[in-house]
């Protein structure tokens, strides 16, 4: 390489670095779009809107929610992956997008390993094992005794094949050796309605859509799949306390951008996101909904995603779940 060529390369690198630095200093100079891969009104949408509102005030530019639902979050995830890496398009990616879909689909329109920049965590939605109010088992031990007495005779609903609620059930079956009949529905709402009505016996549920039903006694929780008891359900034992140590399951969400998002922009977006998650009023409202805020650095979130991918890929492979 000639000296002239080398100097030209060094100069170009320096100009690019200065350009990125200047961009970060003036960012955001226009509204930021936050892609939500689900319909308006659900947990994902509500959480994104609450955080976007706080981030808008801190950033001095609107953070606008754009709902792109459909195809198990694939449509929204693909839109994020194919956007320009300039910081003006980010979006929610959840356990389905990043951990389940790659293990369940032979072909995806995005690559969960390569097509995203991980910005930070958003929140965890703890899963709990709930039963219809008149179900005879009063605790996890009695539940398992009934399951063993009637292999395949106890049913468990989910919001659909490959959903966090379904995959948690499969992990429960693998850890306990239980033979439980899976009854998939098209969404949580009809599944919860049938659970309350006694059409199905049990269901792993996440708290945001089910908390009011639990509080009103329309559902009964046998155990929570968290390391410690939940403040919202202080009298309900953990899976470990109920006799199943090490069983933890959440639905979770994080904020991502397209691949090759400059580090300076990632740091700025992460800082504003973490500030929003720590904001007293925002945090309280999320916790009241049953969402555990999940502030993380971008690297912590990337490490978390990889550990979740490894865990759930094994569960999905063993359960032989395929969605294409």
The predicted-structure confidence for 44-59, as pLDDT tens digits, reads as follows 999 999 999 999 999 9
Dihedral sign of CA atoms 231, 276, 91, 105 in order: negative
**pLDDT value, residue 16:** 44
User: Rounded to an integer, what is the distance from CA 263 to the centroid of its chain?
Assistant: 24
> Is a pLDDT exceeding 60 seen at residue 198?
yes
Which residue has tokens 């979130």?
301
- Give dist(CA 299, CA 301) in Å, integer: 5
**pLDDT value, residue 153:** 97
Q: What is the mean pLDDT of the chain?
A: 93
Question: What integer is the mean pLDDT of 229-245?
Answer: 97
**pLDDT value, residue 10:** 47
Lowest-pLDDT range, 6-20, 77-91, 103-117, 255-269? 6-20
**pLDDT value, residue 17:** 45
Is 0.75 surpassed by the pTM of this model? Answer: yes
**pLDDT value, residue 1:** 55
Q: Give start and end residues of each alpha helix (H) in the chain.
A: 3-26, 43-59, 74-81, 95, 101-104, 140-149, 164-176, 188-197, 207-215, 263-278, 280-288, 298-319
Question: Mind listing the pLDDT tens digit for each residue in 96-141?
Answer: 999 999 999 999 999 999 999 999 999 999 999 999 999 999 999 9
pLDDT bracket for residue 89 (50, 70, 90): very high
**pLDDT value, residue 25:** 76
> Is a pLDDT exceeding 50 seen at residue 306?
yes
- Give dist(CA 119, CA 270) in Å, integer: 6
Which residues touch 58 (CB under 8 Å, ≥6 apart)? Answer: 272, 275, 276
**pLDDT value, residue 230:** 96
Domains of the chain: 3-124+251-319 (3.40.190.150), 126-224 (3.40.190.10)
> Is a pLDDT exceeding 80 seen at residue 71?
yes
> Is a pLDDT exceeding 80 seen at residue 172?
yes
pLDDT bracket for residue 38 (50, 70, 90): very high
* Cis peptide bond upstream of 119, omega within 30: no
> Is a pLDDT exceeding 60 seen at residue 282?
yes
- Closest to 64 measured CA to CA, from 49, 54, 47: 49
**pLDDT value, residue 324:** 79
**pLDDT value, residue 220:** 98
- Give dist(CA 215, CA 178) in Å, integer: 28
- Closest to 229 measured CA to CA, from 176, 296, 292: 292
- As beta bridge partners, residue 90 has 34
**pLDDT value, residue 97:** 97
Q: Which residue has the higher pLDDT, 24 or 305?
A: 305
User: Rounded to an integer, what is the distance from CA 233 to the centroid of its chain?
Assistant: 21
**pLDDT value, residue 18:** 44
Structure-token pair, residue 19: 């350009």
> Is a pLDDT exceeding 80 seen at residue 94?
yes
What DSSP string describes 43-59?
HHHHHHHHHHHHHHHHH
């Amino acid at each position: 390489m000639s000296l002239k060529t080398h100097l030209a390369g060094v100069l170009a690198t320096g100009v690019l670095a200065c350009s990125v630095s200047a961009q970060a200093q003036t960012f955001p100079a226009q509204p930021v779009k936050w892609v939500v891969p689900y319909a308006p009104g659900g947990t994902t949408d509500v959480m994104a809107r609450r955080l976007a509102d706080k981030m808008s005030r801190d950033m001095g530019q609107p953070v606008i929610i754009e709902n792109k639902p459909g195809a198990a979050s694939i449509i929204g995830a693909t839109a994020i992956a194919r956007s320009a890496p300039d910081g003006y398009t980010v979006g929610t990616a959840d356990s389905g997008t990043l951990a389940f879909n790659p293990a369940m689909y032979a072909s995806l329109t995005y690559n969960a390993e390569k097509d995203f920049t991980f910005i930070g965590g958003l929140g965890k939605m703890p899963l709990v094992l709930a039963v219809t109010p008149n179900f005879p088992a009063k605790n996890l031990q009695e539940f398992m005794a009934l399951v063993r007495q009637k292999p395949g005779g106890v049913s468990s609903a989910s919001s659909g094949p490959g959903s966090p609620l379904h995959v948690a059930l499969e992990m429960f079956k693998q850890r306990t050796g239980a033979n439980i009949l899976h009854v998939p529905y098209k969404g949580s709402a009809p599944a919860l309605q049938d659970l309350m009505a006694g059409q199905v016996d049990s269901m792993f549920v996440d708290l945001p859509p089910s908390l009011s039903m639990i509080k009103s006694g329309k559902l009964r929780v046998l155990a929570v799949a968290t390391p410690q008891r939940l403040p919202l359900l202080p009298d309900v034992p953990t899976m470990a306390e109920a006799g199943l140590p090490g069983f933890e399951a959440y639905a979770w969400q994080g904020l991502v951008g397209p691949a090759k998002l400059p580090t300076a922009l990632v740091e700025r977006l992460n800082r504003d996101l973490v500030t929003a998650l720590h904001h007293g009023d925002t945090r309280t409202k999320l916790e009241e909904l049953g969402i555990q805020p999940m502030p993380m650095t971008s690297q912590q979130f990337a490490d978390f995603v990889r550990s979740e991918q490894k865990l759930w890929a094994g569960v999905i492979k063993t359960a032989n779940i395929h969605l294409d």
